Amino acid sequence: MTRIIVRMPNWIGDFVMATAFLEELSLQFPDAIITALCSSPLEALLENNPFVHDVISFSRQKRFFPRSKEGFLLSVLRKRKYDIGFLLTNSFSSAWLFWAGGVKQRIGFVKKVRKPLLTKNIPFPVDKERRHLVETYKTLLPHPSTLKKPKLFIPKEKKALGKTYIGINPGAAYGTAKCWLPERFHTVASRLAHEIPGSHIFFFGDKTTAPLIDSICQGLPDNVHNLAGRTTLRELTAKIGSLDVLLTNDSGPMHMAAAMQVPLVALFGSTNDTTTGPYQWGEVIHKRVSCSPCYKRVCPIDFRCMKQIESDEVTNAVKKALLLPALSFSPTPLSLQGLALPKIATGEPFSREPKTAAIILAAGMGRRLGLSYPKGQLQVGDKSLYEILIAKAKGRPVAIMTSPATHKATQEFLEEKGLSSVLLFQTRMLPRLTAAYEESPEGNGALYSALVASSIWEKWHDIEKISVIPIDNPLSDPFDPRLLEPNVELSVKAILKESGEEKLGSLFEKNGHLHVTEYFELPPGCENNLGYSGCFSCDKSFFEKAAHYSLPWHKVERSQGFHFERFVFDAFPLAESYNIILGDRKKEFAPIKTAEDLATLPPFLYNL
């Protein structure tokens, strides 16, 4: 059986990139026993790696004969009698170690001083400066390949429900020329911490960069956490794996994020992103000025490569990176086969109304109505939509889901109207990819996790049912007795569609589970007259179950461009039991989505 040893690189980033070499090696030598030789503490990065059978780590103290846990490396290599050794380092000492350690075949890149110590000297690729280091490493193999990417297998740290985790790595090895301006990292962190609800910003760094990061974090809010110098390499890897996005200079953490497919924004200046950028992953911001890449430790002139990267550009790039799960998601259309209309419940009265709270979905600004203020403030007669819907609670608990675009104005409006007892929680704003305006709420599907992650969830500890209504239908009644059937997990109010062209989602049953298909996703030729009104009620247990469910993304096209949203109804198939309540269209359904809808509202609405 062939015994192979690989001398892994000494820098974190290079080490991570070399994991693709290990996978290719295991494919080309499927029966070999593969050992990775690495300096401590980099062995932590090989935890659970299926392409390595053994790891030998050693301390890189200033001594010619380094030691591992098993003793002097030289004696360990001689004892194990390796057949083949691959050198991913270019030093004389690593080649001498393999030669003196009795490794039979010693393969590495040719360097004049160590050439006699290798049995096979591989020349560097002629296009080395135009080739990624991941691919350069693989030229040492008998059959070079570009198929495999770097991978890490360390379990991710558990993430708090409904929170957005953003990592920032302001430092980098090899000097300040690789580092963006500290004050701009501070600006971006402050904006993200304030503009993204439920966000937690984590600053990373080692002990040498801790003073720099301490200064950057001065004056930032409580949801910013300074972890510089406070994590082991394994803990850092697990934390990076839990992130929604990482903002970083060219550094080891950048490659760690790419290897774990964590969305990232990488800032380059003095180095070459073609050779050492995040491999086939992430967004790179590199201004490519005339003197870049210079590979200098300290900029000798005006640092133009980094100064041209503005805070706004980086902030927007980080927000866009949060959309990566949506961009990579390919929804599976609902198959027509086996679909049926759900049965409509009789809506018979019951003896006791469960303790119910209501949620009003009001994250949007009402731009299609031409409003410059939250849609809930729209006056219908002598009352706003907020006031009309809140009045139906008659003292029962009510919460409103806002977004950063509507939150402050909604809060001030409610205080002005004497409705400050109504609770508020927020969803995020995410970028539109082509739009007349930059951002929009991430969709009402954020409802479940956003509420469960908020303080409201604890305050509602004794609530049995939660009713949900959209802000744009003043006829919705979250406390309609028909919706509050205590023995049913989910009750959904439906209306009859008036025409096949109506832009309204359709309700279907499949295999005993309820589905809703949005009008723009309805399969061609599918006839269905049962429409989703946007109003439903569910057990609190269903709500919590939905909060832990990964809802799909939907591409939504508007005249201003397109964006991605999650929809609340995609959690409906989780319900073990459900009722469909048919609403009276004239008395219970009058959605206000466009200016044309305002002109056709029934007259009695103005007397609510």
As a whole number, mean pLDDT of residues 256-278 equals: 95
pLDDT at 523: 66
Residue with tokens 């966000």: 199
Residue with tokens 């133009």: 304
Beta-strand relationship, 224-226 and 199-203: parallel
**Phi and psi of 519, rounded to 5°?**
-60, -35
**Phi and psi of 600, rounded to 5°?**
-115, 15
Where are the extended beta strands (E) located within 363-432?
379-380, 383-384, 398-402, 423-426, 429-431
Over residues 135-179, the pLDDT tens digits come to 999 999 998 877 899 999 999 999 999 999 999 999 988 788 899
Q: What is d(CA 294, CA 296) in angstroms, rounded to the nearest whole number? A: 5
Domains parsed from the chain with CATH numbers = 3-138 (3.40.50.2000), 164-322 (3.40.50.2000), 356-607 (3.90.550.10)
Over residues 4-63, the pLDDT tens digits come to 999 999 999 999 999 999 999 999 999 999 999 999 999 999 999 999 999 999 987 665
pLDDT at 268: 94
Tokens of residue 318, six digits: 């980080």
pLDDT at 398: 97
Over residues 180-204, the pLDDT tens digits come to 999 999 999 999 999 999 999 999 9
Q: What is d(CA 602, CA 378) in angstroms, rounded to the nearest whole number? A: 16
Over residues 304-331, the pLDDT tens digits come to 999 999 999 999 999 999 998 888 887 7
Helix (H) or strand (E) holding 321: helix 311-321
pLDDT confidence bin for 392, thresholds 50/70/90: very high
Beta-strand relationship, 465-470 and 439-441: unpaired
**Phi and psi of 46, rounded to 5°?**
-100, 10
Q: What is d(CA 488, CA 481) in angstroms, rounded to the nearest whole number? A: 13
pLDDT over 60 (residue 608): no
Over residues 354-380, the pLDDT tens digits come to 999 999 999 988 877 888 899 999 988
Is omega for the bond preceding 591 within 30 degrees of 0, making it cis? no
Residue with tokens 């300040």: 176
